[in-house]
């Protein structure tokens, strides 16, 4: 582990790809104009709200918890646990994407539990 995160990359070395690889994959890079348009689209997209998504995930978790409680076979329990985990992962990922970092952190704790 590096003690000083400010100097974490000071010893990094960059290696140019050989010509054969460059020929196969191309020169790469995204034109600046496309990056600007993408950023503008993200900045202007205020119509997407996290609340309906979060409510759906929480509803699914609640239903899966009930199914887990009522399950009589291990296969049913396994499916219920998968559904719970999947919905918590959605909360974690989408919480971060929409800027609700606390939801992401709590979801991460739930996943680790």
Rounded to two decimals, the pTM is: 0.60
pLDDT: is 16 or 108 the higher one? Answer: 108
Residue 42 burial (C-beta neighbours within 10 Å; 0-12, 13-18, 19+): exposed
11-69: per-residue pLDDT in tens?
778 777 777 877 777 766 778 888 888 888 777 766 678 899 999 999 999 999 999 99
DSSP one-letter string for 6-20: GGTTTT----PPPHH
**pLDDT tens-digit map of 2-27:** 556 666 777 778 777 777 877 777 76
Distance CA 113, CA 111 (A): 5
Residue 83: name the closest of 62, 61, 112, 55 by CA: 61
């Amino acid at each position: 582990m590096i003690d000083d995160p400010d100097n974490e990359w000071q010893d990094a070395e960059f290696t140019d790809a050989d010509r054969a690889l460059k020929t196969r994959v191309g020169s790469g890079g995204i034109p600046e104009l496309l990056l600007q348009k993408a950023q503008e689209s993200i900045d202007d997209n205020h119509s997407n709200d996290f609340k309906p998504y979060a409510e759906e995930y929480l509803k699914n978790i609640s239903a899966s918890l009930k199914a887990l409680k009522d399950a009589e076979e291990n296969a049913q329990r396994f499916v219920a646990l998968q559904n719970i985990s999947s919905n918590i992962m959605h909360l974690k990922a989408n919480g971060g994407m929409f800027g609700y970092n606390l939801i992401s952190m709590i979801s991460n704790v739930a996943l680790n539990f």
